[in-house]
């Protein structure tokens, strides 16, 4: 639109000049024979005045128009009368006296409000997402996201990376989640998978001499949705040749810190601390520790080695441990709270129970106190630095479970006692994750990261003898208790890769069928390489201060995995299935997962 100014940019500097603005009717009121409209675009609102004596046609139009109509107006900018200024708006000292007005679009009664205060149900917001996107908060989030991604691209370019698009119809990727599959028409009974990540292709780019690859890559994983998980999400995906961990860390620290600064005005200092996985689990009971507050776990097994307290003793006899957490100020917690909410948190992570003691007037109180000797109590108080007014919580049992469940209690305590400082961003690297994990039910060994991850050089021997003890050359970025991404150095030696496949229980034939093309590529001069993938949605969520990634994705799915706006997923037509050689099993529900809803009723 010729000469159009953005609404939010009309200020006192424009006093006396003519402007053209266009946007949505945010608010309308009549006062003293005049009609006032706040016109909005994504930059803000500007006040329009319609005076019947000066411009009768425009005034008549203004009287007719309703909320969210789209207008183009023209007129001189003038100071608002004294006393009617709004110091909270950049445009608050001026108004446009409209002498020409055109309606560009009409709106029916709005199904949802578009101001930030509106608290519509999320399902309704997503049903009318195109209206929800008009809200200043959504506009701010999407624009911050754009700046963030742009900044990542700029820095990647400066660092010598090139963006390469990898295919989105591929064979299955071994990232450990369920694939979304696309049936093939030309090959009935065969499927493509949507990539869980561009992992294999980016490694092939390295074999292809591309050296420094990156991609703002869409990935798909068929998992249950959560606040920070969607079926499809976007990763900053990277791979580099001839690097070690230090070089990879340097690149990511530079990219992410610069992009956080440019997009969110959040200063992120570097380098980031590095914490081996085993230490993170020991100190925080989590592989994504929130390090904005201390309150670390203590292994107090040695204190209770000869305890007469059955619960502790039993755990230790079975090779487990006793973990303790000092909760400053916790003496105010009631028994109901500790045995209700707090116990529930511990149980969610597998703990059988949560023991606790209060500290008042120099001694411990609580049901378990009578089972603990004076020496044990004194040793505990000394080790944890217990003071009057504290509470000590314990978990006992298999060490991994005792730690993760008390780690969850630690986070719960932090929220309950408001220990988490606002406006702080604690980035860190978690390193040396285990290479393998064992499914507790099937006993099967699987990769913690993916099967192309290098074992720690000191642990190669253990791959055959004690795979669960093998550390890997993999690493995660964690910030404020959120895992933002992970990566690793890769195996490029076919014999070593074969050993890993074997440890994973993959027969040579199966490995050949699934990954033969990669193994074959590695026979022709693979450079050593490694990489990383970081979740764009999660990083933007943190950067703009949201608590779910749905607030930073233009068109997300609901938590139950549907799209109420388009009414999808939709039932499939028999002809469509026949074309790709498929037939629905009779047990399948013919109903769509989400009832279709008309867009604008
Ligand atoms: N492909 C991995 C992931 O998506 C990241 C990597 O190893 O580079 O988690």
Which atom of ligand 1 is closest in space to residue 531's alpha carbon?
A: 8
What integer pLDDT is reported at residue 598 of this predicted model? 44
pLDDT digits (tens, 9 = 90+) for 179-210: 999 999 999 889 999 999 999 999 999 999 99
pLDDT digits (tens, 9 = 90+) for 398-435: 999 999 999 999 999 999 999 999 999 999 999 999 99
Q: How far is the CA of 559 from the centre of ligand 1 (A)?
A: 24
Instruction: Give the span between the Cα atoms of 258 and 498, in whole angstroms.
Output: 40
State whether the Cα torsion 476-477-478-483 is positive or negative. negative
Q: At what angle do helices 536-544 and 136-158 cross, to 10 degrees?
A: 120
Instruction: Tell me if residue 193 falls in helix, strand or coil.
Output: strand
pLDDT band of 589, cuts 50, 70, 90? low
| N-to-C CA span, the chain | 31
Q: How far is the CA of 71 from the centre of ligand 1 (A)?
A: 48
Instruction: Give the span between the Cα atoms of 429 and 277, in whole angstroms.
Output: 9
Nearest to 358 by CA among 337, 333, 382: 333
* Omega within 30 of 0 (cis) for the link into 569: yes
Nearest to 513 by CA among 171, 188, 183, 221: 171
pLDDT band of 319, cuts 50, 70, 90? very high
What structural domains and CATH numbers belong to the chain? 4-105 (2.40.50.140), 138-275+427-552 (3.30.930.10), 293-416 (3.30.1360.30)
pLDDT of residue 116 exceeding 90, the answer is: no
Ligand 1 site, CB within 6 A: 175, 197, 199, 486-488, 531-533
Q: How far is the CA of 297 from the centre of ligand 1 (A)?
A: 30
pLDDT of residue 555 exceeding 90, the answer is: yes
What integer pLDDT is reported at residue 596 of this predicted model? 47
pLDDT digits (tens, 9 = 90+) for 276-293: 999 999 999 999 999 999
Smallest CA separation from ligand 1 atom 4, residue: 197
Mean pLDDT for 563-569 is 95
Give bridge partners of residue 7 from the DSSP assignment. none
Contact present, 60 and 98 (Cβ < 8 Å): no
Which atom of ligand 1 is closest in space to residue 219's alpha carbon?
A: 4
Q: How far is the CA of 201 from the centre of ligand 1 (A)?
A: 12
**Of 175 and 132, the one with more pLDDT:** 132
pLDDT digits (tens, 9 = 90+) for 217-235: 999 999 998 888 999 999 9
What integer pLDDT is reported at residue 600 of this predicted model? 36
For the chain, what is the mean pLDDT?
94
Instruction: Tell me if residue 88 falls in helix, strand or coil.
Output: coil
What DSSP line would sit under 7-72, residue for residue?
A: GGG--GGGTT-EEEEEEEEEEEEEETTEEEEEEEETTEEEEEEE-TTT-HHHHHHHHH--TT-EEE
Mean pLDDT for 49-55 is 97
Percentage above 90 pLDDT, the chain:
89
φ, ψ of residue 472 in degrees (nearest 5): -120, 165
Instruction: Give the span between the Cα atoms of 598 and 127, in whole angstroms.
Output: 9
Q: Which of 204, 243, 452, 533 has most ligand 1 atoms within 8 Å of its beta carbon, as the pocket-test mutant? A: 533
What integer pLDDT is reported at residue 439 of this predicted model? 87
Mean pLDDT for 486-501 is 94
Gyration radius of the chain over CA positions: 30
Q: Residue 558: count other Cβ atoms within 10 Å of its Cβ.
A: 19
What integer pLDDT is reported at residue 237 of this predicted model? 98
What DSSP line would sit under 526-589, residue for residue?
A: PPPEEEEEEEHHHHHHHHHT-SSGGGGSSSPPPTTS-BTTTTBS-PPPHHHHHHTT----TTS-
Smallest CA separation from ligand 1 atom 6, residue: 487
Smallest CA separation from ligand 1 atom 7, residue: 487
Mean pLDDT for 36-45 is 97
Alpha helices in 244-387 (DSSP H): 245-264, 277-284, 310-317, 335-337, 343-348, 374-384
What integer pLDDT is reported at residue 599 of this predicted model? 39
Q: How far is the CA of 187 from the centre of ligand 1 (A)?
A: 30
pLDDT band of 588, cuts 50, 70, 90? low
In degrees, rounded to 5, the angle at the alpha carbon of residue 141 between the alpha carbons of residues 136 and 143 is 95
Give the distance between the most distant pair of CA atoms in the chain. Answer: 95
Q: How far is the CA of 170 from the centre of ligand 1 (A)?
A: 16
Lookup: tokens for 24:
């949505």
Smallest CA separation from ligand 1 atom 1, residue: 199
Backbone torsion region of residue 389, taken as left when φ is above 0, otherwise alpha when ψ lies between -120 and 50, otherwise beta: left
């Amino acid at each position: 639109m010729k000469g159009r100014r953005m609404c939010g940019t009309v200020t006192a500097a424009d006093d006396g000049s003519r402007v053209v603005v266009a946007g949505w009717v945010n608010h309308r009121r009549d006062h003293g024979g005049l009609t006032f409209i706040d016109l909005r675009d994504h930059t803000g609102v500007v006040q329009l005045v319609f005076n019947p004596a000066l411009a009768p046609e425009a005034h008549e139009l203004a009287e007719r128009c309703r909320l969210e109509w789209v207008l183009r107006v023209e007129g001189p900018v003038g100071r608002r009368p004294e006393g009617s200024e709004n110091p909270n708006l950049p445009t608050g000292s001026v108004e446009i006296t409209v002498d020409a007005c055109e309606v560009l679009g009409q709106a029916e009664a709005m199904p949802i409000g578009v101001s930030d205060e509106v608290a519509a149900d999320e399902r309704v917001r997503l049903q009318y997402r195109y209206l929800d996107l008009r809200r200043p908060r959504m506009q701010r989030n999407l624009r911050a996201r754009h700046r963030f991604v742009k900044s990542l691209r700029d820095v990647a370019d400066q660092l010598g990376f090139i963006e390469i698009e990898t295919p989105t119809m591929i064979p299955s990727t071994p990232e450990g989640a369920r694939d979304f599959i696309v049936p093939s028409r030309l090959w009935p009974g065969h499927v493509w998978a949507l990539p869980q990540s561009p992992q294999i292709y980016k490694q092939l780019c390295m074999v292809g001499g591309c050296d420094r690859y990156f991609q703002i890559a869409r990935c798909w994983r068929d998992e249950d949705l959560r606040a920070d998980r969607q079926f499809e999400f976007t990763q900053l995906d990277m791979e580099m040749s001839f690097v070690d961990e230090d070089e990879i860390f340097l690149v990511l620290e530079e990219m992410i810190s610069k992009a956080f600064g440019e997009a969110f005005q959040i200063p992120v200092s570097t380098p980031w601390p590095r914490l081996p996985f085993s230490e993170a689990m020991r100190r925080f009971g989590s592989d994504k520790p929130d390090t904005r507050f201390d309150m670390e776990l203590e292994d107090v097994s040695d204190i209770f080695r000869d305890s007469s307290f059955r619960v502790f003793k039993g755990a230790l006899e079975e090779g487990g441990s006793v973990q303790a957490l000092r909760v400053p100020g916790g003496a105010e917690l009631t028994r109901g709270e500790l045995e209700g909410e707090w116990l529930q948190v511990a149980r969610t992570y597998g703990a059988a129970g949560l023991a606790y003691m209060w500290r008042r007037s120099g001694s411990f109180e609580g049901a378990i106190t009578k089972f603990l000797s004076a020496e044990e109590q004194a040793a505990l108080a000394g080790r944890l630095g217990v003071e009057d007014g504290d509470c000590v919580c314990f978990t006992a049992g298999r060490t991994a479970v005792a730690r993760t469940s008390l780690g969850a209690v630690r986070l719960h305590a932090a929220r309950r006692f408001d220990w988490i400082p606002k406006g702080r961003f604690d980035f860190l690297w978690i390193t040396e994750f285990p290479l393998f994990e064992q499914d507790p039910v099937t006993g099967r060994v699987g990769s913690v990261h993916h099967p192309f991850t290098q074992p720690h050089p000191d642990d190669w021997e253990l791959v055959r003898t004690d795979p669960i003890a093998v550390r890997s050359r993999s690493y995660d970025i964690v910030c404020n208790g959120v895992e933002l991404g992970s990566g690793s150095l890769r195996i490029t030696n076919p014999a070593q890769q074969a050993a890993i496949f074997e440890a994973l229980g993959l027969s040579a034939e199966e490995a050949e069928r699934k990954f033969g093309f990669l193994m074959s590529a590695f026979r022709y001069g693979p450079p050593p390489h490694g990489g990383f993938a970081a979740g764009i949605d999660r990083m933007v969520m943190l950067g703009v201060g949201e608590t779910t990634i749905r607030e930073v994705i233009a068109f997300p799915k609901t938590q139950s995995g549907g799209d109420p706006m388009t009414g999808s997923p939709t039932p499939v037509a028999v002809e469509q299935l026949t074309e790709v050689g498929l037939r629905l099993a009779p047990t399948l529900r013919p109903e769509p997962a989400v009832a279709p809803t008309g867009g604008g009723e």
